[in-house]
């Protein structure tokens, strides 16, 4: 699924940054960042030396903040605004401004873990980025990424307001099977693929949003709280892929 007319700049006026700038502790973005960090800790190689992680599209650095005690932190984001705020929270992290092509600046087999939360949908050529991810990963290293899932059966209830398409910078919104195929074609083994559940309420106009959130979001909340993936890949807003370099 393709969109058009991406925004020129990702500054403080970009809608996603406005959303997470207002979000506080225990908000959906806060819990989401903790969940992705737990996945990194769970699936990254267990080695004695310091592990190195790169967050592709790190935004304000929320995922990296949750990994600060366990990893050497690296992050890249296209937004100078986001990187400036991330550096305030993570002064010792190696954070840089750049797009997905910045991966070419890193040497082969450099990272133990890569994480990318809702970034690949912004890329015109995600297949190329996945190949670069495979290149910069160490053998045994893990890539974890999440992106809107075009297989989501409830997206039609949202129409143009579905989270996957309402942002005009989302130019690569694909079915889960396509993301899995692209990951494998890049030379990575897909260890798990699952979803984050339904949380983009409301889906039905005449039912209160809080009631829909209670009905639909229980599996998502349980998955985040226990930190163990179990929601089937088609049952949610996003596909989350965990892949390993062998």
| Residues near 34 by beta carbon (within 8 Å), at least 6 away in sequence | 66, 224
Tell me: pLDDT of 92 over 80. yes
Mean pLDDT of 217-245: 94
The predicted pLDDT at position 2 comes to 35
pLDDT tens digits along 2-52 = 333 444 456 655 556 666 666 666 567 778 899 999 999 999 998 878 899
DSSP 81-97: HHHHHHHHH-TTSEEEE
**What tokens does 101 get?**
């092509």
Domains of the chain are 15-244 (3.40.50.150)
**Prediction pTM value:** 0.90
Mean pLDDT of 123-151: 97
Supply the DSSP symbol for 48: S
> To which residue do tokens 């209830």 refer?
157
The predicted pLDDT at position 21 comes to 60
> Under DSSP, is residue 16 helix (H, G, I), strand (E, B) or coil?
helix
14: phi then psi, degrees, rounded to nearest 5: -65, 130
Q: Higher model confidence: residue 80 or residue 56? A: 56
pLDDT tens digits along 140-185 = 999 999 999 999 999 988 999 998 998 888 999 999 999 999 999 9
pLDDT tens digits along 207-227 = 898 898 888 889 999 999 999
Do residues 242 and 234 lie in contact, with contact meaning Cβ atoms separated by under 8 Å? no
């Amino acid at each position: 699924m393709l969109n058009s007319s991406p925004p020129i700049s990702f500054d403080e006026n970009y809608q996603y940054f406005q959303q997470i700038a207002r979000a506080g502790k225990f908000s959906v973005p806060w819990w989401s960042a903790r969940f992705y960090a737990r996945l990194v800790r769970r699936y990254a190689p267990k080695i004695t030396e310091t592990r190195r992680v790169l967050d592709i599209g790190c935004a304000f650095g929320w995922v990296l903040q949750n990994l600060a005690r366990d990893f050497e932190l690296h992050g890249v984001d296209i937004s100078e605004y986001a990187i400036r705020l991330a550096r305030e929270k993570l002064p010792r992290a190696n954070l840089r401004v750049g797009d997905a092509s910045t991966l070419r600046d890193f040497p082969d087999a450099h990272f133990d873990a890569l994480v990318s939360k809702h970034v690949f949908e912004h890329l015109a050529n995600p297949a190329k980025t996945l190949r670069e991810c495979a290149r910069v990963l160490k053998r045994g290293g893990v890539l974890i990424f999440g992106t809107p899932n075009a297989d989501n059966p409830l997206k039609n209830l949202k129409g143009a307001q579905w989270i996957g398409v309402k942002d005009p910078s989302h130019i690569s919104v694909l079915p889960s099977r396509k993301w899995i195929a692209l990951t494998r074609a890049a030379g990575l083994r897909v260890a798990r693929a699952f979803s984050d559940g339904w949380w983009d309420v409301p889906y039905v106009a005449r039912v209160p949003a809080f009631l829909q959130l209670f009905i639909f979001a229980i599996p998502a909340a349980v998955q985040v709280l226990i930190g163990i993936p179990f929601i089937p890949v088609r049952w949610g807003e996003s596909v989350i892929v965990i892949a390993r370099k062998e």
